[in-house]
């Protein structure tokens, strides 16, 4: 982003804290933007970040999915053990 579109520090802090709605609200208040314009600016900033930059809004948590799969596999093995023994 160039200097004219540099985001205020509190907006950047909200984005880093994965509080996108708060970032949009702050930007609207500070720049007198409409909802769509502020959202577009915040989205453009997030999209401009390099992958793996540590921005939590771009990361997905696959831990829960893996846990569910592990539990289902263990349950299937246990059920097969009970049926065939």
DSSP class per residue in the chain: --GGGPPPHHHHHHHHTT-HHHHHHHHHHHHT--HHHHHHHHHHHHHHSPTTSS-GGG----HHHHHHHHHHHHHHHHHHHHHH-
Give the number of other CB atoms < 10 A from CB of residue 65: 10
pLDDT number for residue 62? 59
The C-alpha atoms of residue 20 and residue 14 are separated, in whole angstroms, by 7
Model confidence over 27-81: pLDDT tens digits? Answer: 999 999 999 999 999 999 999 988 876 554 444 555 778 888 889 999 999 999 9
């Amino acid at each position: 982003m160039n200097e004219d579109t540099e985001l205020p520090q509190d907006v950047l802090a909200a984005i880093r804290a994965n509080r996108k709605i708060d970032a949009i609200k702050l930007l609207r208040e500070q720049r007198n933007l409409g909802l769509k314009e502020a959202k577009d600016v915040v989205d453009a900033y997030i999209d401009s970040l390099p992958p793996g930059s540590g921005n939590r809004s771009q990361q997905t948590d696959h831990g829960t999915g893996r846990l569910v799969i592990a539990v289902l596999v263990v349950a299937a093995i246990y059920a097969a053990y009970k049926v065939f023994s």
